[in-house]
Amino acid sequence: MVGREPDFGDKYEQVKSLGRGCYGEAMLMRDRTTGLLVAIKYIEKGKVDEYVQKEIRNHVQLTGHPNIIQFKEAFLTATHLGIAMEYANGGDLFDRVVSRRRLPEDEARYFFWQLVQGLAWCHSQGVCHRDLKLDNVLLAGDPSAPQLKLCDFGFSKSQQQDSMPNTLLGTPAYLAPEVLKEGGENQQYNGELADVWSCGVALYVMLVGAYPFQDPADPGNHLKTYRRIFSVQYEVPADVAVSGECLDLIRRILVRDPAQRITLQQVQQHAWYLAHQAGPVPQQQQQERPMQTDEEIMKLTSMAAQMSSGEPGIWNEEDCLVFEGQDSLLGE
């Protein structure tokens, strides 16, 4: 069932749709005042639950790093909660790999280096992503040397605000063995080390153009994928040119026992990773903090969660939040 069309409010004008998910629709919008393009996720008020609020909280917390999609603002229309974010004009890394079949090793390292930088920032803020995959890696800037941007923190978990991860979340091909084994009720695993495993899978996909643990004869069979993950059954095809140092890093990452797996800090000290420093470095743009305080953002999301879309009569004058330097966040 398709949800109702969002009321876009007065601040932004619609450019095009960027896709629809289970919680709402993402739109490319233009700020009427500045002309800047932004990506806005519109979520019906009745669908703003604790998971949406957690995603927003973690995204706000992580904003400020060049390898994270920047959170700009939250606002309310008569029907929806709007989440304005930085727009990445280069699509996602998965599509880039598919269009080229696979990436040369130097290019894969260029993106892997940025991926690890962004993930290290997440971990330094106490947040595990838990759904790292090339589809959740966006590209911005110069197409010949784009800047990588992590996005989609819907499965992320803050170790400062939550317990250790204990649920089976993520995309099957990227899941670490301990997530499959211990992702049940009351079974905890180290989210940071599970993220490292997913990074290793992402690196393999960039280099090979295929998932490491899918059965080539039956790629859609998740059960077979899980079995191959448990046994760490993968190989790099002979026709793929990969250096010994790169293979060594992959082998150190794709280790079944997380206690024996290389950590993210150790990845950053690996010779293959460090070799990137001699290569091209993406242009770093100055990052801005969100337009609102954390308290203002979370107040808006809490208000949206308490409201049922399509009932504008519950609004009163005190509910119309206006922040300095902005138009009313409540659309007409």
Asked whether the beta carbons of 150 and 68 are under 8 A apart, the reply is yes
Tokens of 109: 């390292």
Active-site entry in 49, 131, 248, 294? 131
Binding region for ATP: 41, 86-88, 152
Kindly report the number of other CB atoms within 10 A of residue 325's CB atom. 6
Whole-angstrom distance, CA of residue 277 vs CA of residue 67: 16
DSSP 199-231: HHHHHHHHHHSS-TTS-TT-TT-HHHHHHHHHT
∠ CA(16), CA(17), CA(23), 5° rounding?
Answer: 150
Binding-site positions: 41, 86-88, 152
- Burial of 48 from C-beta contacts in 10 A (0-12 / 13-18 / 19+): buried
Specify whether 131 is catalytic.
Answer: yes
Question: Using CA atoms, how far apart are residues 312 and 5, in angstroms rounded to an integer?
Answer: 15
Catalytic residue numbers read 131
